[in-house]
Amino acid sequence: MKTQVFAFAKIEDKDARQKVYQEIKNGKSRFGMWSQKESLKEERYNKNAILLRIKKGDWIVHVNMPKYGKCVAAQTIGEYDFDAGVECKWGYDFKNFIPIDKETIIEFDRNDPNILSSVNLAPRRRAQRILQVSDFIESIDNLKKGVYSDIAKRDRAVTHLQQKVSKILPDITAQIQRMNKSKEFERFLMRIFENLPNTVSIQNGFGWRSDHGADLIVEFQNPIASINLTTKIIVQAKSYVGNHIETSGVDQIVAGINQYNADGGLLISTAKATEELENYIVNKSEENDKTIDLIAGDDVAKFVLRYAPELLIGTT
């Protein structure tokens, strides 16, 4: 069987997080489900049955572990098991575990330059597969070798150029926000989604009396061999400054998903993402069994530059 990679989202309670971190060091990757009385092999608990798919030789990444912005990864040496767990403030939890090879444990920053940008280390479910397996394996190899830790090992001109450009991304997002407030930001994003490959249709709430939580409804066509499947997402657009803490936009996405029977949602905010917002998105994705994703801060500038650069620099 081919190698798989799984990401476990952040544990919010700091004391429990530290205990699970120590368990990783001791060779057990743990996953919590308070009130769980028996193994997932006895009762699969719906979406958390993903843990049963983890096989020997797979990789598990604990995101925001041992603190926000950090990751711990390790390779498994066995499959799912169940024990008494660890003692937490609310009782014994994190009873689900997968044995890991302590020799493979590696810790790194979530945004380390050795991690390929295609690797998604911002899971929106408590347990989620990372689909870019070969890129993840290459990233681990990069980390071990320190490929991008020394500028001398890369083209200095390119390295310094990337560093300079990364510093102006916040200014680009800030200018986008200044020129696109409220509904104008929705219209601006609509023009970008029109440029995305496989876009089938875009509905907007510009003239609606009530958008039921959907600023935009975007449908994509996902061809699989001769079959064309359609994915519908609800988009909430927030033209904010500073740090994005409030969570009403996520609640609006949930309302839109339910109203329009969508497959998932996307919050796009010109403000900076916060730990509180990311945690809330993970929780709501879990509760509704629909993935809600986030593009915020510098990533808004990257999103525009990638899919609609002409909106920033013109065509002449």
Q: Which pLDDT tens digit goes with each residue over 45-103?
A: 767 889 999 999 999 999 999 999 999 999 999 999 999 999 999 999 999 999 999 99
Cite the DSSP H helix spans in the chain.
Answer: 14-25, 133-145, 156-179, 183-195, 248-260, 275-288, 298-307, 310-313
What's the CATH number of domain 5-145, 3.30.870, 3.10.290, 1.10.1060, 3.10.590? 3.10.590
Give the distance, in angstroms, between the CA of residue 173 and the centroid of all CA atoms in the same chain. Answer: 20
Q: Which pLDDT tens digit goes with each residue over 196-225?
A: 888 888 887 665 545 577 899 999 887 665
**Mean pLDDT, range 20-40, rounded to an integer:** 93
Which residues, 6+ apart, have CB-to-CB distance to 17 below 8 Å?
Answer: 10, 11, 65, 66, 67
What's the CATH number of domain 177-313, 2.160.20.10, 3.40.1350.10, 3.50.50.60, 3.30.465.10? 3.40.1350.10
* pLDDT of 138 over the 70 cut: yes
Q: Are 200 and 223 in contact (CB under 8 A)?
A: no
Other beta carbons within 10 Å of 35 = 7
Give the distance, in angstroms, between the CA of residue 255 and the centroid of all CA atoms in the same chain. Answer: 21
Q: Which pLDDT tens digit goes with each residue over 275-305?
A: 899 989 999 998 888 999 999 999 999 999 9
CATH 3.10.590 residue ranges for the chain? 5-145
Instruction: Give how far Cα 2 sits from Cα of 17, 54, 157, Å.
Output: 30, 11, 38
Torsions phi, psi for 310 (to 5 deg):
-65, -20
To which residue do tokens 């001791």 refer?
26
Taking the C-alpha atoms of residue 3 and residue 56, their distance in angstroms, rounded to an integer, is 9
* pLDDT of 153 over the 60 cut: no
The 3 state secondary structure assigned to 184-233 is: HHHHHHHHHHHHCCCEEEEEECCCCCCCCCCCEEEEEEEEECCEEEEEEE
* pTM confidence score: 0.76
pLDDT at position 42: 86
pLDDT at position 109: 93
Q: Greatest CA span in the chain, whole angstroms?
A: 66
To which residue do tokens 């990401």 refer?
7
What whole-number percentage of the chain has pLDDT above 90?
64
| 63: three-class secondary structure by DSSP | strand
What pLDDT band is residue 154 in, cutting at 50, 70 and 90?
low
CATH 3.40.1350.10 residue ranges for the chain? 177-313
Torsions phi, psi for 218 (to 5 deg):
-115, 130
pLDDT mean across residues, the chain? 89
